[in-house]
Amino acid sequence: MADDAQTKPAGESFIPSSPAPTASTAPTAISSSHPAPADRSVPAVAPSAPAPAGSAVGDQLARIEDKTARIEDKYARSEQLLSRMEEKIEGATTRMNEVARQSDLAALRGEVRGINERVKRSPGTGALILTAIITSVLTVVLTVAVQRLNVDSLLPQRAAPAATQP
């Protein structure tokens, strides 16, 4: 090996000599995310070509981003659906409150109608005045009749209070 170092130029003595990689000896794309152990006899791949492991990581990252975007879309659709459901429930609640108020008003109207019917069946002012006149006339007539017929003797007598003399 000493002869080889003397015959080669100074910069090339540290690079091991090996045949150039051919198509059959070139590394193939690896589908897993772990790179294969490097063979020391094969020179390193040029930095301009993407590494197979890097593209697998990039593909996996792209798939994760796609799934994240789909999950976000589903979440946004769920939020919209919940928002529409909330609006519908609020509308239904408002309508039910109005219906309850309407039924309360209908019950109140029924009560007022019943009171109105009872008031209408009660005697009017003319009937009350006529009843008062008839009652007073009959009272006077009966009082006079009792006094004339001496019926007051049939009534129990009240004991007169004892008069005290001084």
pLDDT of residue 150: 81
The mean pLDDT values, 10 residues at a time, for the chain of 166 residues are: 50 51 47 48 48 77 94 95 94 92 91 93 91 96 87 72 63
Residue by residue, DSSP assigns the chain as -HHHHHHS-GGGTTSPP-PPP-TTTSPPPPSSSSPPPPPTTSPPPPTTSPPHHHHHHHHHHHHHHHHHHHHHHHHHHHHHHHHHHHHHHHHHHHHHHHHHHHHHHHHHHHHHHHHHHHHHHS--HHHHHHHHHHHHHHHHHHHHHHHHTTGGGTSPPPPPPPPPP-
Q: First and final CA of the chain: distance in angstroms?
A: 174
Asked if 25 and 41 touch (Cβ cutoff 8 Å), the reply is: no
d(CA 139, CA 141): 6
pLDDT of residue 30: 47
pLDDT of residue 1: 47
d(CA 115, CA 109): 10
pTM, entire model: 0.35
Asked if 41 and 16 touch (Cβ cutoff 8 Å), the reply is: yes
